[in-house]
Amino acid sequence: MENLPPVILASTSPRRSELLSSMEIEFEIVPSHAEEVMEACDFIPDLCEANAKKKAMPIAELHPECLVIAADTIVYLEDELFGKPTHIDEASHMLAKLEGRTHQVSTGVSLIYHNDEINKTFSVITNVTFLPLSKEQIDEYLAGIDPLDKAGGYAIQQDKDKIIKRVSGSVSNVIGLPVERLKEELNHLFIEKIEEQWGAWRLVLNLSAEFMSKLSLAIRPIGD
Catalytic residues: 72
- Residue 40 corresponds to which amino acid? A
DSSP state of 190: I
Q: E-strand spans in 78-210?
A: 80-82, 102-113, 118-130, 164-168
**What is the Cα–Cα distance from 85 to 137, expressed in whole angstroms?**
18
Contact at 8 Å (CB) between 155 and 84? no
DSSP state of 40: -
**What is the Cα–Cα distance from 162 to 141, expressed in whole angstroms?**
7
Q: Residue 99 CB: number of other CB atoms within 10 A?
A: 16
Give Cα separations from 136 to 79, 91, 141, 164, 193 (angstroms): 27, 14, 9, 16, 54
Give Cα separations from 30 to 6, 67, 178 (angstroms): 12, 12, 20
Q: List beta partners, residue 103.
A: 128
